[in-house]
Amino acid sequence: MRSAPRRPVRRAAGAGIAVAASIGLAACGSSGPVASASVSKKVVPLVVYSAQGYDSAVTKAFTQATGIPVSLDDDSTGPLLTKVQAERNNPRWGVLWVDGDTAFAGLDQQGLLLRGWEPKVSWNAQGQSVVPKDGSYVPTGLTMAGTVVYDSTKVSSPPTSWQDLLAPQWAHEVGMNDPAISGPTYPFVAGMMNALGGVAQGEKYFSALQANGLDVHETNGDTLQALEVGQIRVAIIQSSAGIGASLKDPAIRVAFLDPVTPIPSAVGIDPKAPPAEVAEAKQFVQFVLSPQGQQAMQAGDPHGDSLYWPVLQGVSALPALPPLASVPAKAIDPYTWGRREASLNSWFTNNIA
């Protein structure tokens, strides 16, 4: 993972405020590329905490387009969310960019996100459905949590339902990520609990899965590796990771069991950031959702996070993705399940992982 230097302390609120006047937010709308920021005015570095595989490509393109320097801290979603919580009284980030609107809903409920701002873009139906009413975070793409991935040379009859995974034939053959570390995994856990009727029913299911020999790993890459070496025969991971693996190895297949939980990638802005950095953060979001930004997202990690369904009109998914209408997706309420994320992750760690 890339790890960028962090600011030792937050700048005073007024520091570098003159940069706000030099940043043309209208120039970075979805209709065209972002205009370069004025080099005659001093800019403050934009600190981006991100767990996206394409973040390096996007932040470099943003700096090239605007002249605004970016300090990128790349890590898994779980550690980044822990860092944001630890820094709540002295935040050192300007932008948070991870997968899972439940995480952002939880942060919003704690007052840790800037509210009341939405970029000027044309959402498609999927994008509009995941835009929060209070404007506290911004969706940038859509993947699926809890996708079933298997090697077709070793599995001739893959599971066709979630209950199938509890059968003796899958004992010690199923692996998944730890939701406390892999942020995109929590929506899968929450989605299963929602589909099964509640927390108690979900805990019963995962306990049965654990009793059947569930193999828990930290991230998509770890679970995929367990599949590749034959440690498990079925991996439950994010759709982008599974489809990416199938592009590298045609024997790898992806199945969407009913239901599968959609997870938006999203961007949030630190409400305590200096005004100049807030202005830069807004420009960054507009850039991400511009044609130039979407191109960088789709090119930055072609066998991983770039394999997302777009949330904007006029942007097509990469060819490897199936039509979204063919996926049995069932969304969950991010605010209902966001407030439970810490407690359910703790339960999973103590009882399953």
Which one, of 193, 150, 154, 204, lies nearest residue 175 by Cα? 150
Query: Is 60 exceeded by the pLDDT of residue 2?
Result: no
User: What is the percent of the chain where pLDDT is above 90?
Assistant: 85
d(CA 261, CA 238): 10
- What is the H or E stretch that residue 49 is in? strand 46-50
d(CA 277, CA 274): 5
pTM: 0.86
The least confident of 5-14, 231-240, 259-268 is: 5-14
Output the pLDDT for position 44.
86
Class of the domain covering 19-143+262-324: alpha beta
* Residue 270 φ/ψ, nearest 5 degrees: -70, 120
Q: Which two tokens stand for residue 223?
A: 């679970």
d(CA 284, CA 267): 10
8 A C-beta contact, residue 51 and residue 97? yes
pLDDT band at 80 (very low <50, low <70, confident <90, very high): very high
Residue range(s) occupied by CATH 3.40.190.10 in the chain? 19-143+262-324, 144-261+327-351
For the chain, the 3-state helix, strand and coil shares in percent, each to the nearest 5, are: 40, 15, 45
Q: Is 75 left (phi over 0), alpha (psi -120 to 50) or beta?
A: beta
Class of the domain covering 144-261+327-351: alpha beta
Q: Mean pLDDT score of the chain, rounded to an integer?
A: 89
| Mean local confidence (pLDDT), 196-219 | 97
Rg over alpha carbons for the chain, rounded to the nearest Å, is 20
| Mean local confidence (pLDDT), 289-317 | 97
* Residue 63 φ/ψ, nearest 5 degrees: -65, -40
In this predicted model, what pLDDT tens digit does every residue of 130-152 receive, in sequence order?
A: 999 999 999 999 999 999 999 99
| Mean local confidence (pLDDT), 78-99 | 95
| Mean local confidence (pLDDT), 105-126 | 96
